[in-house]
Structure 1
Amino acid sequence: MGKKNPDTEAPIDELVDYLQARLETILANWRLACEADATMSSKSSFSREEFNDQVPLLITLLFLRLRNEPLKLDPATVASEHGLHRWQSGYSLPELISEMEHLFKTILDEVEAFETSSGKLGTKSLLFVQQQVFRMYGEANRGSLLYYHQLLQNDAAERARSLQFALDQLHQLGEKRGEHLRQSSHDLRTSFSIMTVASQLLEYPKTEKERTDLMDMLNRNLSSIREMLLQLTDYAKIEAGQDVLDIQRFDVAKLVKETLETAQPLAKHNKLVLQGDGPEKLEVTGDRVKVQRILINLLYNALKYTRDGSVYVTWTLENQLRWSLSIQDTGPGFTANSPAALLAEQLKPNVLTSASHQEPHLMEELPPGKAEKEKSKESEGLGLFIVKKLCELMKASMDIESQPGKGTLVRIRFMMKPE
C-alpha cells in the first residue's frame, strides 16, 4: 500500500470526507453515465439497490485504503459477487467492462472537482489518490471480469454437454423409429399368416368350440392389423407433411365417451377396468378427428400393455384458454432404454435441472436376456411418436410421467381456440 506522510494525510482525509458526503451523487452520476452509453443496454428496470449491488462496498474499501486503514474484505472477492449479479442479470462482458470504466471515471471526476475547488491536495497527494483508485480499479476488474468469464465458460460447457445429450437421444430415437417400422412389418406378416392358417382350418372344424376359437383368433388378429395399419398410415401422413387441421366446434365429452365405449370389449378381454371421468359436456374448438386419433393411440397403448388393474381417462377444462385430456394406467411403465422411455424423458414435465446434470437412467443398457422381451413393445414408441407429432401440429403440450412397475400418465393440454 502507498505510504502517506503528515503533509498529505490531512488533505486526503478531507478528500475522503468529501467523497463520503458525495457517495449518493457518485452512484447517481455513475448510473447516468451507464445509461447514456450507447454500447450498453440500459438497465432502467433495475431498482437503486439492484443497480448499485456491491459497488457501494467497493467504494468504502477505497476510502479505507485512502485513509491507510486495513481492509477486512478482499476487493476482488467483493467484485466477483458483483460480476455474478451482472451475469445473472443478462449483462454482456463488454457491458460489464464499460460499467467499471464509468464507475472509476466518475470517482476520478469527483477527486478532480475537490482539487479544483479546494486546491489542497498538491502533486504528491493527488498522485497517491490516483494510485489507490487505479489499484482498486485493477482489483475490481480482476474480480468481476475474471469470475464473469469463468461463468461464461462454465455455461458454454454446460450447454455443449446438454446439446450432446440431446443429440444422443435424438440419434437413438431415430434408430428406434426404424425398428418400429421393421417390427410393425414383421407383426403384420405374422398376423396375416395366422389369419391364413385360421381361415383354412375353418373349412374343417371338428367341433363348434374349435370354430368359435378360430373365429376369436381371426377377430383378434383383424383388430391388431387394423391398429397397426392406422398407426402406419398416421406415420406416413406425418412424415410426408400431409396432415392439415380441420377446425370445428365439437363436444369432447361425447367424443371420449364414444371412444371408450368402442374400447370396452378390448378392456374386458384383457380383464381391465376402463373408466372415464369428466364433465358431461365440454364444447371446444379444434380438430375432432386428430383429437380422436391421439386418444385412440394412447388408449390402445394403455390397454395393450397393462396386464392387470385399470386404465383411467380424464377430460377437464383447465382455464378459459386450455382443456386437458389424461390417460393413466397401472401398467409396467417404460423400461430403461426403450424408445417410449426416451420420448418420455424429453417430455418429462417441470424439469428444473439441466440435461447434463440429470441421471441418464433411461439411456442405460438393458439387463442381459431382457432386450428380446422388450421387442414386443416397440409399437408403443411409434404410437407415442405419432401423438407427439399430432400435438405439435395442434400446438398442444404433452407431458409423460412413468416409473417402471408403477404405470404411466400421459397428459395432453389443448387450446380452447387454436390460433
Structure 2
Amino acid sequence: MVQFTYFVWCASLALLVSLASCDRECPDNRKEQNHDEANLNHDLLCAYNADFRPVTDHKDAVNVSVRLALKYLSFDALEETFTVHSWVGITWKDQFLKWTPSDYGNILETQLESHQIWSPRMALFNADATMYQSEQMYTSCLVQHDGNVTCVPHVAHTGICRTSLRNWPYDEQNCTLYFGSWMNTGEQVNYTFFKTRPVVMDDYQNGPGWKLLHVVNERLPGKYKCCPNNTYPMLKYTFVLKRISAGPAAIVVVPSVVIILLTLMSLVLDVKDYTRLVLICFSLYGHFAFLKEIGYQIPKHSADPPILLLFLRDSMIITLAGIVETLLLMYLRQRVIPAPGWIVTVNRLVSSGPGKYVVFTEFDPNEEFDTKGLTEVSSRGDDAKARVHLDWIQFANLLNSVMFIVAALAYVVLLSVYLPRDN
C-alpha cells in the first residue's frame, strides 16, 4: 500500500511539473504583434455572423457573379456521368466587411478564409447522387475595403448527362450543368455571370476520348407558376463534346465494311468444295464478334441505339440468307431427277432474253464434264442425265446471280442510311 501511494505521489508531481512548463510565457520577441493587418482582421470578424446574408436590409439581394475557368473535363458514356474540373470565380459584396483604409495603414485588401465569412452555397441541381458534392466552398477569399469579396475555389462538379448514340462512334454529346441556390430565392441570392468572359478556357485540356467544341452559358430566370412572387434563377452551362473516333472507327467501323466484302465475295464462289460455306459462316461469326465489341463500349440501356447496330443487324440477316442460299445451291447441284417444267421454262426465258445478262456466275456442272461438254452431249440426246443436271445448274446460276444483286443493292442502301459518318 505504501509503494502504491508513493507511486501516485511521484506521478502527480511529474504531471504538475509538465503543466508548469507548458504555461511558460512567450519571450518578448515572440509576443503577439498588433500590426495593422492583424487589427483589421480582428475588427472585421469580432462581431461577424457568417450564418446570415451580409446585407443591412433583409429585403436586399446579394448579387453573386460567377465565372468558370475550365481546367479538365471527363465524360463516362457507360455511366452517363460528366465531370468538370474548374476554378470557379465567385464575387459578391459583403456590407459588413467594409473599412476605411486610412484607419489601418492604408490597407486596401486582405484575405479571409471562406468558412469565416458568409459565402454563397452554389448547388449543382443535376448532380450525380452517388458522389458527395458539398455546396460549401473551402478556400481563401480576397476582401476589398469596399466590401467586395472574391473567392476562387478549385471544384470538380459531376452531373448526369444523357447520351445520344445514334451516330456512334462519330457522335457529339450535349452535357448541361445547372447551378443555383438550393434554399434562397433570387430575391435573396441572385446568381449572374461575369459581364466579360463568363467562361475561360485558356488553360483547358481535353479529357481522354473527348474533345470540347464549345461552351454555351445561359441564365434562366427561374419563374414558376407555383411561386409567382419569387424567382429561382439558375446558371446553365451546356458543354458540346465530340468523341475522338479514330480508335473506335478502326476497331468497329472499318471491320464492318470488311465483313460486307466477305459476304459479297462468298456469293460469287462455287459451292462444290465448301469454301463458300466456310467463308460466309466466318462472315456471320464476324457480325456477332463486332456486336459484342460494340456492347462493351456503349451504355446497356441507351434509349437511342447507334445506327451502326442497325447496320450490323440487317447485314447479319443478309449473311444468314446467304448461308441458307448456299445450302440450297449445294442441294440443287446434287439433283438427278428431272427439273419441273417451270424451272425449264424460266431457264429458257432467261437464256434467250435480256435476262441472260443478269446471270454472271457459272458453276461447274459436275466433276467429270465442263459446261461445253454437257451441252454437246445433251444436244445429241445421248445423255439424259447430263441434260437434267444442266437444268438444275442453270437454275442455280440464276438464283445465285439474283441473290448477289439483291445483297449488293441492300448493302448500298444500308451504307447510305445506317453507316455512321464523321461530320
Q: Provide TM-score, normalisation by structure 1.
A: 0.25
Bigger Cα Rg:
2
Higher strand share: 2
Higher helix share: 1
